[in-house]
């Protein structure tokens, strides 16, 4: 079933929409949730939250690109779950490594929370991504949007781990400078 037909089912409030979405995009969503949560039980909860949120948001929303829309919802649901878990248990997984990498990007004096509501920071990041080469964009998005490990990216694209690591290091440095330059701190 193509994505337009699935969205039509959502608009008709036909529960088959959820079944078709799961059937087509479960693997992609599961991969993102698992990359963040690294735990089957939490992953299932995040996926259930995802399907519910999609059901409640379409309509009125009508995504132009269903899988891209799903990635946003599943990553937010999973990050949310991760936040909750952080307050009650010790976490030690790949996500922690990703978070530590992110701390290299954020200037010390930047409060991201203050930027969540306005568009300046995300516009600045979008402008930065636009300056990257296609390969660098893939590395950046795979690592920090899809939460792939460096080894996963190497496996997926046939690039060497060193190539990816070196590029990530450079991208992080450049992004930090870019944010500082934009004076958002």
Partner 1 sequence: MIYKNELDFLELLSQIDEKYICEIQEGEQKRKVRIPRFSFALAAAITIMAVLSIGASAAIRYYISHKDNVNHEYHNNQALISELDKRATEPIVCENKHIRMTVDSVISDEIYIRCTATLEGIDNSGKSFISDNLILPEEVDKMTDSEISNYFENNDHDFDQFIPYMIAYSQSGERLTGFNSTSDNMFGKKGDETEATFTFGINKRNLGNDEKVKVECNQLKTYFQEQNAGIFEGMSFELPLKSNFDTLVLQSENGDEIYLSEVCLYENRKAEESEDFNFSVYYNNGESKTDILTGFTEDSLYRLGEVKYVKFNGKRYDPEELIKSSR
Subset of 99-138 contacting partner 1 (CB under 8 A): 99-103, 105-106, 110-113, 115-116, 121-122, 125-126, 129, 134, 137-138
Subset of 149-178 contacting partner 1 (CB under 8 A): 149-151, 154-163, 165-166, 169
Q: Among residues 55 and 146, whose Cβ is nearest to partner 1?
A: 146
* Of the candidate residues 7, 54, 75, 184, the single one contacting partner 1 (CB under 8 A): 75
Q: How far apart are CA 30 and CA 37, in angstroms?
A: 10
Q: How far apart are CA 93 and CA 40, in angstroms?
A: 13
Check residue 81 for interaction with partner 1 (CB under 8 A). no
* Of the candidate residues 16, 53, 55, 146, the single one contacting partner 1 (CB under 8 A): 146
Burial of 154 per CB tally in 10 Å (0-12, 13-18, 19+): middle
DSSP state at residue 131: H
Here the tokens at position 14 are: 């036909």
> To the nearest whole angstrom, how small is the minimum distance from the Cβ of residue 116 to partner 1?
6
Q: How many CA atoms lie within 13 A of 185 on its CB side?
A: 13
């Amino acid at each position: 079933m193509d994505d337009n037909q699935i969205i039509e089912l959502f608009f008709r409030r036909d529960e088959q929409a959820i079944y078709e979405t799961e059937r087509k995009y479960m693997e992609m969503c599961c991969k993102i949730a698992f990359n963040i949560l690294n735990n089957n039980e939490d992953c299932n909860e995040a996926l259930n939250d995802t399907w519910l949120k999609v059901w409640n948001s379409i309509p009125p929303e009508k995504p132009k690109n269903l899988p891209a829309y799903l990635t946003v919802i599943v990553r937010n649901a999973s990050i949310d779950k991760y936040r909750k878990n952080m307050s009650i248990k010790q976490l030690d997984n790949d996500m922690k490594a990703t978070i530590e990498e992110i701390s290299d990007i954020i200037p010390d004096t930047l409060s991201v929370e203050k930027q969540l509501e306005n568009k300046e920071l995300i516009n600045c990041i979008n402008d930065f991504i636009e300056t990257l080469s296609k390969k660098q964009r893939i590395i950046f998005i795979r690592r920090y949007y899809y939460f792939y490990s460096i080894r996963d990216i190497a496996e997926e694209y046939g690039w060497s781990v060193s190539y990816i690591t070196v590029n990530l290091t450079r991208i992080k440095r450049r992004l930090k400078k870019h944010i500082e330059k934009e004076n958002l701190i």
